[in-house]
Amino acid sequence: MLPALAAAQMAPAPSKDKPTLPSKAYSFEDLPEKVSGQNRSRAVFDGKNHSGIPLELHITELGPGQAPHAPHRHVHEEIVMLRSGLLDVTIEGAVTRVTAGSVVYANSNDLHGWKNPGPDPARYFVIAIGPKG
CATH code of residue 109: 2.60.120.10
**Would you state the pLDDT for residue 102?**
98
In a domain, 60, yes or no: yes
Residue type, 28: F
In a domain, 64, yes or no: yes
**Would you state the pLDDT for residue 16?**
61
In a domain, 8, yes or no: no
In a domain, 19, yes or no: no
In a domain, 31, yes or no: no
**Would you state the pLDDT for residue 132?**
84
**Would you state the pLDDT for residue 86?**
98
- Cβ neighbors of 76 (< 8 A, separation 6 or more) are 54, 108, 128, 129, 130, 131, 132
- Number of structural domains in the chain: 1
In a domain, 96, yes or no: yes
Alpha-carbon span 41 to 91, nearest angstrom: 23
In a domain, 84, yes or no: yes
Pairing of strands 122-129, 54-62: antiparallel
Domain assignment of residue 113, given as a range: 40-133
Residues of the chain short of pLDDT 50, as ranges, are 1-15
In a domain, 11, yes or no: no
Predicted model pTM: 0.84
**Would you state the pLDDT for residue 17?**
82
